[in-house]
Structure 1
Amino acid sequence: MAITPATTTQQASEGTAEAILLELVDEDGVTIGTAEKLAAHQAPGQLHRAFSVFLFDDRGRLLLQQRALGKYHSPGVWSNTCCGHPYPGEAPFAAAARRTFEELGASPALLAEAGTVRYNHPDPASGLVEQEYNHLFVGLVQAPLRPDAREVGDTAFVTPAELAERHAKDRFSAWFMTVLDAARPAIRELTGDAPGW
C-alpha cells in the first residue's frame, strides 16, 4: 500500500522533490507497506515504524531537544534527544544514528538498542496522530553539539530533578513520557550511578 500525495518532500540526489515514505507495520512490527509521511499521521493515523533516542553526557544528564518552530508536527515542544522515522528498508539503528547527526551535528559515542514500544498519541494542537511502533535507543554523546536550526530550536542537558521541573512547566511532545518510561530499564543500566532515572 503506497499513499504518495506531494505534501512532505525531500530533495533527491538529482535535485527533484519526492515524497518521504514511512514503513507501515503490523502490531508485531512486520512491514506491510509504505505511506507518505503526512498521510500516515493524519487521523486516525496509520501504524508505522519510528525510533526514539536518549543520549546522556558523562555526568549522567539527559540531552533534551526543543523541536524547531518550523516543524509541521509538534513545533516548539521539548522532547527526547532525537526521534524520527527510518526510510523504508533502513534499519532503525542506522536511522537513529543518521538523524542524531543530521539534527544535532554530533554522532553518538555509544548507541544501544533499548526495546520497542507501541502507542497511539493524538496531538491536540495539530490534529495529527502518532500511531507508532517505536524502536528505542540509549547512548552517550560528547560536546560540542551543532544543532540544525531547521530541526532544533534549543537543547538542554538535564538531571532527573531538572527534567521533572521542566516537564511541569514547559510543553513536551505527546509521546515523550511513553518513550521515556519504556526506555527507563536501559537508561538505568547505561547511567549506573546516576540516581533518579
Structure 2
Amino acid sequence: MEHVILLDESGNALGHQDKRTVHTASTPLHLAFSCYIFNADDQVLVTRRSPRKLTWPGVWTNSVCGHPQESEPMVAAVSRRAAYELGLALDEVRLLLPRFRYRAEWSGVVENEMCPVFTASVSAEPRPRPDEVDAVRWMAWPAFLREATAAGSSYSPWCQLQATLLAQLGPDRRAWPAAPSAALPPAGHALVH
C-alpha cells in the first residue's frame, strides 16, 4: 500500500496517509516529485496520464511523477516510479527545482504538493503500464516548452509551471545547475541518503 508524507507549511513531515484516500476536495499538503527524462538525442519524454487516474486523467504531462515513501530517499523514489510506470532504469538523476510547490484542482479533486523537480537520462525505450500511462512521446525540448507554456496549454498544471521555471535555466539541459539536496523541503532532505 502506497502512502504520502504529509507536510506542514515549512515542509516538515507530519506523518503519512494512505495515497488512496489523500486526494479529495481538501487534499492536505504532502511531498511529491516530478522528473523530466531525456534520451541520448536530448529529447524529453512526455506522458499522457491513464484515463483511470483520479487526478488529471488523460492529460499530457512530464515524464513521471510520484510520492516518496517513508524512509525512501528522493532519488530512489524517482527511480522506483520510473521503473514501475515506464519500465525504465534511470541514469544521472539530478535535482533541479528543490522547492517547487503548487496547488491545483480538477473536477473537485485537489493536488496540493511540495514537489521537487528532477531530471534524468535513459538509454532505453519506455514500456508504460496502461493503468498509469496511456501514451508516451519523445519531443525536442524547445517544442515541448512551446506546447507546455502556450496560452491554453492542455498539459497538467504542474507541468506548465515547471516548464516555465526550467526554461529559465537555459536552453542546454546538460548545463542546468544541479541544486543541493540541502535545499529540499526538510521532509525531503531527510530522505536524501
TM-score with structure 2 length normalisation?
Answer: 0.79
Partner of 1:5: none
1:174 maps onto 2:157 in alignment: yes
Partner of 2:28: 46
Partner of 2:141: 160
Supply the RMSD in Å over aligned alpha carbons: 2.3
Partner of 1:191: 174
Structure 2 unaligned spans of 5+: 177-193
Give the distance between the partners of 1:104 and 1:80, measured in 2 at CA. 12
Q: Which has the larger radius of gyration?
A: 1
Give the distance between the partners of 1:91 and 1:29, measured in 2 at CA. 16
Question: Which ranges of 4 or more aligned residues in structure 1 deviate by more than 6 Å?
Answer: none
Matched residue pairs, number?
173
Which of 15, 24, 30 lines up with 1:33 in the alignment?
Answer: 15
Give the distance between the partners of 2:137 and 2:72, measured in 1 at CA. 29
Partner of 1:65: 47
Contact map agreement 2:29 2:113 (CA 8 A) in 1: yes
Q: Could you tell which deviates more after superposition, 135-144 or 79-88? A: 135-144
Contact map agreement 1:53 1:83 (CA 8 A) in 2: yes
Give the distance between the partners of 2:164 and 2:21, measured in 1 at CA. 28
Q: Which has the higher contact order (CA 8 A, sep 6+)?
A: 2
Calculate percent identity across the aligned residue pairs.
29
Structure 1 unaligned spans of 5+: 1-9, 11-19
Question: Relative to structure 1, is the Cα distance of residues 99 and 142 closer, same or farther in structure 2, using a 3 angstrom cutoff?
Answer: same
TM-score with structure 1 length normalisation?
Answer: 0.77
